[in-house]
Amino acid sequence: MKIGVDYYPEQWDRSLWSKDAELMAKTGVKTVRLAEFAWSRLEPNEDEYDFSWLDEVISIFSHYGIEIILCTPTNCPPLWLYEKYPEIVQVGVDGKPLQIGIRGHRCINNQIFLEYAMKITEEMARHYADHPSVVAWQIDNELEAYPCCCEACRDDFRIWLIDKYDSIENINKAFGNSVWSGEYSSITQIQPPTAYPSAWQNPSLCMEFYRFTSEITVKYVKIISSIIRRYCPKAKITTNTWFCEHMPDFYKLFDELDFVSYDNYPPVKIPEDPEAFYSHAFHLDLMRGIKEKNFWVMEQLSGPTGSWAPMSASPKPNMIMGYALQAFAHGADTVVHFRWRTAVTGAEMHWHGILDHSNVPGRRFFEFAELCKIASKLEILKDTQLISGIAILYSPEAEYALKNQPQTEGYYYFEQLKYFHAAFAKYGANIDVVSPETDLSQYKIVVAPALYVNNKAATENLYRYVMNGGTLVLTNRSGVKDKNNNCIIDSLPTVFKELVGAEVTEYDPIGNSEQKIVDFSGNEFVCREWCDILKLNTAKAYAQYADGYYLCCPAVTVNEYCKGLTYYVGTVCKSDFYEKFASRLMKQNGIPRLRGLSKGVEVTTRTNGIDEYIFFFNNSEQNTVIGLPKPMYSIIDSMGKDKIELKPFGMDVVRK
């Protein structure tokens, strides 16, 4: 288990490089990420490459035994390139080029930009091929499926559509362009969805443009990674990602890359509303689920955040340590902190690193140093992973489509997944968040909330899973759209109707109003946001509405289908419903439940197939004590224990 830091040598005086490396080595830093935005230093003028300073930095770190993650600096083209080719800049939905001089504003689909990005990558890859200290490569920074509306993107989008649909007539038909006289009579009339808020645009057009921009991002990563591989065949390549506004399809983005890396900035403030989501565990599980294997954190919270927003509170004592260990608990193998020292220049000078502007080691630094020591004790976990009996399915297209057309007040796709995640997590279960198309046979329980856009492969996968004996949970807003993002003429949940054994006769998008449901054993729960009024075919009612004009109508159903079971949750509830529901499902499926964990306590298990290591994390501001069924050995404290005592944000790891 390794701890690293992000370091920007080009932003510091040369005299600091050795001092920094020496202190990092003394502190226990094992890895450093370099060169991320340094294009103007690596190619100060066209075709004039200067790697001498980076060579010097790398040799300093190598001297101290610190490994290097090398980045392609392609996020930040130098100003000479923008000056020479102003057309490489991204164009916003308002048709205006973005302002240069910040970062990331290059169109990754522009051929001129691509040529230069490929050239600098090639020079770097050739120069650092087989360098023994370079352990990984990062492509660019936080790539988005940005809806660029430049001429190149617009033209390519038109060609992409024609390639896909063969003719203008087919596009008109697929998009339902007879609405509002939107029929194209020539390819030149096709425009990216610009100008209006996207909710006014044709949803089919929006969906296709999203697919197009996501594909461009994937293609870019493929182009750049293939250059690195040509010179460095053994390279481990990634790109760092996060939950941004324009998320590309993560499954496809990382398809050709070796591992996922994630920029992890958990919030430092615990919300007062007990229903608000706080833990970052769901995001970490999703990152692990993209490639269904362990991942890295490429940027980790290190201090108060801020710059383009007012500064956040500082991480509380134990948070720097606790949140890094939480990432290990969910499958990270390396956690790299952003950044070693807080910048004293540039726009990000208030996004804090481990060291403050003063360069005087303080509270956060000492906690970080302690973390480095603990991480080295966790070396024993090197070849371990999380094995889970529960999966939650994440669909990038459902996420996009539901963001594009909000359904009802308060209804967010990710929250629909998090309700279930939090409920299973309450009982200390490992949870995978994976693709709807993946092989589900290893799971005892699969939850697929709001599978809004139909995808034939995923639908067949779910039928297969239940036919073979799986327990599936579907929810409201499933099977609503066809692949063109148009509504399906059938009663909901359309393609899942047979699996569910019930159908929706009417729905009521109640937003933030509250109603009640009662389950088969008389427990009452508050429901909100969405109410499907269901008619039973082969299913039985699990819960029904307890008030309103659909009093006594089924709200949650269960259906035996071949060897398996399908539940359908037609409404959205508060956490107590999901907790009860998850507990029953786990019991039925023989998944052990840890009961009585206090709020905020997270338990996950990593195994190498022989030994199991249990992580106990206290993601709360109260001290907590967890009794163990038998004495266990703590890897962190090197001693046997029969109970785990944790301070706020404290972590313990025991061998089972």
Residue identified by tokens 């001297």 is 63
Q: What is the 3-state secondary structure (H, E, C) of 123-177?
A: HHHHHHCCCCCEEEEECCCCCCCCCCCCHHHHHHHHHHHHHHHCCHHHHHHHHCC
Q: How far is the CB of 28 from ligand GAL (least distance, A)?
A: 23
Closer of 356 and 547 to ligand GAL (Cβ): 356
DSSP H stretches of helix in 515-643: 575-588
The least distance separating ligand GAL from the CB of residue 244, rounded to whole angstroms, comes to: 8
CB of 263 to ligand GAL, least distance (A): 5
Verify binding: residue 299, ligand GAL, rule CB under 6 A. yes
Give the ranges where 407-455 is alpha helix by DSSP (H). 413-425
Q: State the residue number with the nearest CB to ligand GAL.
A: 351
142 carries an active-site annotation: yes
Q: Which is nearer to ligand GAL, 307 or 491 (CB)?
A: 307
Which residues have a Cβ under 8 Å from the Cβ of 286 and sit 6 or more positions away? 250, 394, 433
Q: Which of 138, 141, 408, 459 binds ligand GAL (CB under 6 A)?
A: 141
Is 299 labeled as catalytic in the residue annotation? yes
Tell me whether strands 601-607 and 571-573 are parallel, antiparallel or unpaired: unpaired
The single-letter DSSP state of residue 55 is H
φ, ψ for residue 291 (rounded to 5)? -110, 5
Residues 6+ apart with CB under 8 A from 650: 318, 322, 617, 618
Q: How far is it between the farthest Cα atoms of the chain?
A: 76
Closest to ligand GAL by CB, 20 vs 348, is 348
Looking at the Cβ atoms of 142 and 370, the one nearer to ligand GAL is: 142
For ligand GAL, the closer of residues 31 and 559 by Cβ is: 31
Query: For ligand GAL, what does the binding mask look like between residues 229 and 248, x meaning CB under 6 A?
Result: -------------x------
Q: Is 415 in the site for ligand GAL (CB under 6 A)?
A: no
Give the dihedral of Cα atoms 214, 219, 224, 227; nearest 10 deg: 160
Q: Tokens in use for 155?
A: 């033209």
**Angstrom distance (rounded) from CA 573 to CA 640:** 41
**CB of 33 or CB of 211, closer to ligand GAL:** 33
Instruction: Please report where in the chains the tokens 């080295």 appear, as a residue.
Output: 376
CB closer to ligand GAL, 343 vs 531: 343
User: Residue 217: CB partners within 8 Å, gap ≥ 6?
Assistant: 108, 143, 144, 145, 248, 253
- Least distance CB 41 / ligand GAL (angstroms): 16
DSSP secondary structure code for residue 546 in this structure: -
Residue number, 347 or 625, with CB nearest to ligand GAL: 347
Q: How far is the CB of 283 from ligand GAL (least distance, A)?
A: 14
Q: Does 140 bind ligand GAL (CB under 6 A)?
A: no
Kindly state the smallest distance separating residue 336's Cβ from ligand GAL, in Å. 11
What is the rounded distance in angstroms from the CA atom of residue 50 to the CA atom of residue 48? Answer: 7
Q: How far is the CB of 408 from ligand GAL (least distance, A)?
A: 31
Rounded-to-integer distance, Cα 150 and Cα 101, Å = 18
Smaller CB separation from ligand GAL, 244 or 552:
244
φ and ψ at 407, to 5 degrees? -85, -40
Residues of this chain, 357-396, that bind ligand GAL according to CB under 6 A: none
* Interaction of residue 142 with ligand GAL, rule CB under 6 A: yes
Peptide bond connecting 211 to the previous residue in cis, omega within 30 degrees of 0: no
Q: Which of 20, 208, 249, 263 is in the footprint of ligand GAL by CB under 6 A?
A: 263
348 counts as binding ligand GAL under rule CB under 6 A: yes
CB nearer ligand GAL, residue 74 or residue 605: 74
**Helices 203-231 and 111-128 meet at what angle, rounded to 10?**
30
Which 8-state DSSP code applies to residue 316?
P
Contact 143, 76 (CB under 8 A): no
Regarding 411 and contact with ligand GAL (CB under 6 A), the answer is no
- Candidates 476, 460, 458, 478; CA nearest to 468 is 460
The one among 12, 351, 427, 568 contacting ligand GAL by CB under 6 A: 351
Size of the site for ligand GAL (CB under 6 A): 9
Classified as helix, coil or strand, 210 is: helix
Report the alpha-carbon distance of residue 526 to residue 571 in Å, rounded: 10
Catalytic: which of 142, 215, 498, 612? 142
Q: Is 264 in the site for ligand GAL (CB under 6 A)?
A: no
**Touching ligand GAL, residues 465-524 (CB under 6 A):** none
Interface with ligand GAL (CB under 6 A), residue from 12, 262, 338, 394 = 338
Give min distance, CB of 236 to ligand GAL, in A.
19
**Separation between Cα atoms, residue 105 and residue 71, nearest integer Å:** 18
Which residue, 299 or 482, has its beta carbon nearer to ligand GAL?
Answer: 299
Q: Indicate the DSSP class of residue 88.
A: G
Counting every residue, how long is the chain?
656
Which of 43, 299, 367, 399 is catalytic? The answer is: 299
CA distance 243 to 549: 39
By CB under 6 A, name the binding residues for ligand GAL. 141-142, 242, 263, 299, 307, 338, 348, 351
By annotation, the residues acting in catalysis are 142, 299
